[in-house]
Amino acid sequence: MSVHKKAIFAAGCFWGVEEKFRNLKGVLETKVGYTGGVTDKPTYESVCTGATEHAEAVEVVYDPEIITYKELVDFFFKIHDPSTKDRQGFDIGSQYRSAIFFVDEEQKKTAEEEKEIIEEKEGIKLSTVITKSETFFDAEDYHQKYIQKGSN
C-alpha cells in the first residue's frame, strides 16, 4: 500500500482547477481553499478583495504510484496561462495568481525544474510563483466540488 501525498496549486478560480485535477487518474481527493496570505481564517469575501494576500488554491491528495508529482506539475502548467501575472481569463487579482505551494524540498526542485524547462522551450517568462506551503484554509462548503454539484 502506497503512502498518499499532497500537492497545492493555484491557477485562477479554484472551481475549475479543482474539477480538472479531480478527474486525473491517481488523484484521490481534492479540496479548495486559501493559502499564501497574511491573515488567519480567511473567507471567500475577504480573499476576493485581495487584501488578505491569499490565493484561491486546490489541495490535491494523490497516489505517487499512479501519478507522480512531476506529472501533476506538468498538468498544472497545461490547464492555465502561467505567463499572465495575477490573472486567469476574466478573473483579475493576486488571489488568482499562478502558484505552486511546495510541501518539501523534492517538490520545490521538481516545480522549479519544470518551470525552467517550459520557459526555455517556449521562450517566455512565467509568472508562476513557487513558494513553501504554509497553512491551507479550507474554503466554505459551498465551494467544495462546486462544478460537480452542477453550479454555473
For the annotated catalytic residues, the residue numbers are: 13
DSSP state of 63: -
Rg, Å, the chain Cα set:
15
Residue 96 grid cell: 488568482
Specify whether the CB–CB gap between 42 and 34 falls below 8 A. yes
3-state secondary structure of 56: strand
3-state secondary structure of 67: coil
Read out DSSP for 74-118? Answer: HHHHHSS-TTSTTEETTEESGGG-EEEEESSHHHHHHHHHHHHHH
Amino acid at 94: S
Amino acid at 135: T
